Chains A and B, each alone.
Chain A
Amino acid sequence: MLTISKKPPWMFFPDIIPIGHPIFDIINSTNPETDWDLRLACLLLYAFDCEDNFWQLYGDFLPSADECTSLLLASEDELSELQDPDLASTMRNQHQRALEFWEKNWHNSAPLKIKRLARDPRRFMWAVGIAQSRCINMQTRIGALTQDANMIIPYADMLNHSFEPNCSLHWRFKDRMLEVLINAGEKIKRGDEMTINYMSGQKNEMLMQRYGFSSPVNPWDVIKFSGNAQIHLDSFLSVFNISGLPEEYYHNNCLANDGDTFVDGAVVAAARTLPTWSDKDVPPIPSSERMAVKELQQECRQMLAQYATTSKQDEKLLDSMPNAPRTLEAAIKYRLHRKLFIEKAIQALEIYQDRILF
């Protein structure tokens, strides 16, 4: 099932064709470039209604509305639990947009065929959430056209996300199939989890907004530092044995032979987000270096203090609520991860101070 977010002409081999169904007009009325998720949601709902359709069977294995962590289904106070006003407002906008769409097309005098697809806005929200979180966006070449396709592919969308994935998705042109390629050098045995990278290069906010989850070890997370303090990049990297180009920092295991488990994606993210300077082989001046480190740590602590709760409190909260609704859980986790990340940055700076060689 797919939509193409491009202006026509398109070329694809659709399996769900709502020809003759009034949903076809609804889908047609949207803008393919911006409303791809709404279109996908309509297609999904229609597919559930098609008799003898695979999606009817597969739908049982999609996360239900209770299980779905997409923030579209989150209530207001859950959004406030995010402790991130920007994200909250973004989500509100999205929610509003979806709701408006539903109200526009599922009005009272809509034909029954439409009505039964989504009896209430919550189902439609769920569909949009599923469409957003489970779809795979790829540049697919079909025939001679390379088009931006948003595809929901039955079993490939069950793959989880990881920042060190062992698999990736590849569109095979010759038989128009998506194949899950195992990354180079990866060995996957029976029982190993196969993971892919959903979105690379985005901070937790984007992940949360699109997929409804966040990660404490997002190597692309960003902390906004104000101030002039800068640390020496090369020494920071060498302390933590992070190598690679700035776009692809990774923890170099060969250099670190002591089984150092401290360095994870958060430290990599810190290496990226902390204000740094590097001037070829100008060495860092110890005193200014230490001052910079202290300043940065201070700033981080200030940021942490601005949150309503500490990370410990968040963790306790999570533990105390085993049966929390999934969206609430996700929201709390989001802010928890954020705080963890900042704490990790502080810790990293601390270690940096200790280990730096002058």
Chain B
Amino acid sequence: MASNSIHSNLLPKSPFNHFQTSSYLVGSFPAGILQVRVGFSNSRRVPSYSCIKCEKKDEYNIEHVSVERPPYYSYMDSTSGQLEPASGARASVPEQEYWPEGTASQVRAARAPAPGGESSSSPSYGSKPGSRRKNYRVAAASSSTIDVGSSDPAPSDEASLEESIEDTQDSSSEFVVYQSEPEEEETGYDLDKKLGNPHPFIDPRVKKKIEGTLPDEELWWNWKKPEKEQWSRWQRRKPDADTVFLKAMAETGQVKLYGEHPTLTETSLYRARRHLYKEERLQAEEDRLEEVGPIAYYSEWVKAWRGDTSREAIQKHFEETGEDETAQLIEMFSHQTDREYRIMMGTDVRIKRDPLAMRMKEEQIKQIWGGDPVYPTVNYIQDPNEVIDYRGPDFHEPTPNMLSYLMEHGHIITRDELNSILAKEKPEQHEVTDVDEAMAKAVDIGENDDEEDSDVEDEEEDGEEEEEKISRNWSVLKSTPELRQSKAKAKKEGPMSLDEAIDDSENLTDFLMDFEEEQE
């Protein structure tokens, strides 16, 4: 029904529609009127208008031309105060007063028509100079006409200015007069040339194409001219959604347009109709829902439900099982697939929801909604299931657990381990003091020993705290050389393994087997 009326309304040929179209206000649709008209067109078929002839009214004979509004805004030109021409057109050519110096005379000279006379004699090409000079003294007293052969002298630029001769000159003068040819109508190129109108250089009738040029397709840069010969890309159509939709509809044959592209009128009509039809359709759907009942209504989207969905059946079921409508509805929906659900809810863009209107071409879709911003071309499309750079489940954890990391990598030891190491270290120190009596007797001023003892004491007292300090604040460890050294010393225990040696060493120079210096 809808498509039929669209057809009938957009056909321009019938006078009935002309009449209708003309009375629309382009661009603004008082919906009330439109509804009337639409209803009008739906119910009434086109009568044979030609048979009704009351009186000759101008109204019916006016040719209704739909004038398309230009696709731009109109401005007033600041210089002339007139309506500014379409954007991109050149400014108006100024008047003669504004032309630069010499232009006026150039124009006048260019407009001067070519002398149109016939020469009486033919040129001698340099052999007989002066052969074609005109006789100035035509019918004067002097019998110059006797000598026809010799060119009869007219006073040339060496003319003497005696008044008598001047008088004869003036009286008989036709300076260089050509007989003008009889007036024959010149048209087109010749007329333009004669009048001085703008014309091409070469007469288009005579013009030959330049030989040796390739046709456009064979040119190496293969530049196709844009269609419609626009000199600016801004002049091309900038379609909006409705126009593209309408064009697509026209292409699939659901709508008939007057021309190739939908005009503004047609687009507005379409938009209005679509709105109205949508409302109608929604209303109809709602009515149907009310009429048929929800289960029957929604069973459209549950293909798996083959039970009877009429109201009577539901009633019966209710009576039988005590499940009311809602419960039955829920049961029905449990048979629905997610695809159907998405279709029903209309939330899946991958599933086309509008089978009626059109299958739009990708180009048309792009015109309205643009291309995919993320993957604009095929090259950008990636496999969504591709495993890319899997860093682990807690890759995006903001603060990793450094303690466990360090423990893992052996940069930190537990307090117990430390204590055990220290315990092992202590007897070593005592051995040293036993050996050297002199040293034992001496007052202990040594720095190292002081630190060691203090550190040992400290460690025994605040061992835990220090451990914690050490483990929490590496910066403390860095800035306090005592702590670092104690730690190093605590680790010393007999022959060290290779790893320990590497850890202890400052750099590779420590392994240089220099026994003079102590390895630290």
From B121, B133, B158, residue with most partner A Cβ within 10 Å: B158
* B90 sits at the interface (CB 8 A): no
From A59, A70, A159, A322, residue with most partner B Cβ within 10 Å: A59
Contact stretch, chosen from A6-14, A137-145, A206-214: A206-214
* Cβ-defined contact, B158 with A213, below 8 A: yes
* Cβ-defined contact, A68 with B156, below 8 A: yes
Which of A46-86 touch B at CB < 8 Å? 47-49, 53, 55-57, 59-70
* Cβ-defined contact, A66 with B150, below 8 A: yes
* CB contact between A61 and one of B133, B153, B162 (< 8 Å): that residue: B133
* B371 sits at the interface (CB 8 A): no
When C-beta atoms are compared, the residue in chain A nearest to B152 turns out to be A67
* B124 sits at the interface (CB 8 A): yes
Interface string of B109-124 (1 = CB under 8 A from A): 0000000000001011
* CB contact between A158 and one of B147, B157, B160, B170 (< 8 Å): that residue: B157
Q: How far is the CA of A159 from the CA of B133 in the complex (A)?
A: 15
* B81 sits at the interface (CB 8 A): no
* CB contact between B133 and one of A56, A67, A323 (< 8 Å): that residue: A67
Q: How far is the CA of A122 from the CA of B312 in the complex (A)?
A: 134
Asked, given contacts A56-B126, A212-B158, whether A322 binds B151 with beta carbons under 8 Å apart, the answer is no
Q: How far is the CA of A215 from the CA of B161 in the complex (A)?
A: 6
Asked, given contacts A63-B133, A64-B129, whether A211 binds B158 with beta carbons under 8 Å apart, the answer is yes
* Cβ-defined contact, B159 with A161, below 8 A: yes
* Cβ-defined contact, B125 with A57, below 8 A: yes
Interface string of B125-152 (1 = CB under 8 A from A): 1111111110000000111101100110
* Cβ-defined contact, B151 with A64, below 8 A: yes
* Cβ-defined contact, A55 with B133, below 8 A: no
Kindly provide the distance from the CB of B156 to the nearest chain A CB, expressed in whole angstroms. 4
* Cβ-defined contact, A157 with B157, below 8 A: yes
Residues of A within 8 A of B147 (CB): 323
Residues of A within 8 A of B132 (CB): 60-61
Residues of B within 8 A of A48 (CB): 125-127, 129
Interface of B is mostly: loop
* B252 sits at the interface (CB 8 A): no
Residues of A within 8 A of B126 (CB): 47-49, 53, 55-56, 59
* CB contact between A162 and one of B128, B141, B161 (< 8 Å): that residue: B161
Residues of B within 8 A of A134 (CB): 157
* B73 sits at the interface (CB 8 A): no
Q: How far is the CA of A124 from the CA of B157 in the complex (A)?
A: 19
* A149 sits at the interface (CB 8 A): no
* CB contact between B151 and one of A56, A67, A70, A193 (< 8 Å): that residue: A67
Asked, given contacts A67-B130, A67-B151, whether A60 binds B123 with beta carbons under 8 Å apart, the answer is yes
* A330 sits at the interface (CB 8 A): yes
* A275 sits at the interface (CB 8 A): no
Interface string of B457-500 (1 = CB under 8 A from A): 00000000000000000000000000000000000000000000
Which of A141-184 touch B at CB < 8 Å? 157-162, 174
Asked, given contacts A63-B133, A160-B159, whether A57 binds B153 with beta carbons under 8 Å apart, the answer is no
Residues of A within 8 A of B98 (CB): none
When C-beta atoms are compared, the residue in chain B nearest to A210 turns out to be B158
Residues of A within 8 A of B142 (CB): 322-323
Which of A311-345 touch B at CB < 8 Å? 322-323, 326, 330, 333, 337
Kindly provide the distance from the CB of A216 to the nearest chain B CB, expressed in whole angstroms. 7
* Cβ-defined contact, A62 with B130, below 8 A: yes
Asked, given contacts A57-B123, A191-B173, A323-B147, whether A64 binds B161 with beta carbons under 8 Å apart, the answer is no
Q: How far is the CA of A60 from the CA of B119 in the complex (A)?
A: 12
Residues of A within 8 A of B153 (CB): 63, 66-67, 326
Kindly provide the distance from the CB of A159 to the nearest chain B CB, expressed in whole angstroms. 7
Q: Which residues of B contact A (CB under 8 A)?
A: 102, 121, 123-133, 141-144, 146-147, 150-151, 153-154, 156-162, 170, 173, 175
The contact sample of 11 A-B pairs, CB cut-off 8 A, is A48-B126, A59-B125, A60-B121, A62-B129, A62-B130, A64-B131, A65-B130, A66-B151, A66-B153, A157-B157, A193-B170
Q: Which residues of A contact B (CB under 8 A)?
A: 47-49, 53, 55-57, 59-70, 126, 130, 133-134, 157-162, 174, 191, 193, 211-217, 322-323, 326, 330, 333, 337
Q: Apart from A67-B151, A126-B129, what are 5 other A-B pairs with CB-CB below 8 Å?
A: A59-B125, A64-B151, A211-B158, A322-B144, A330-B160
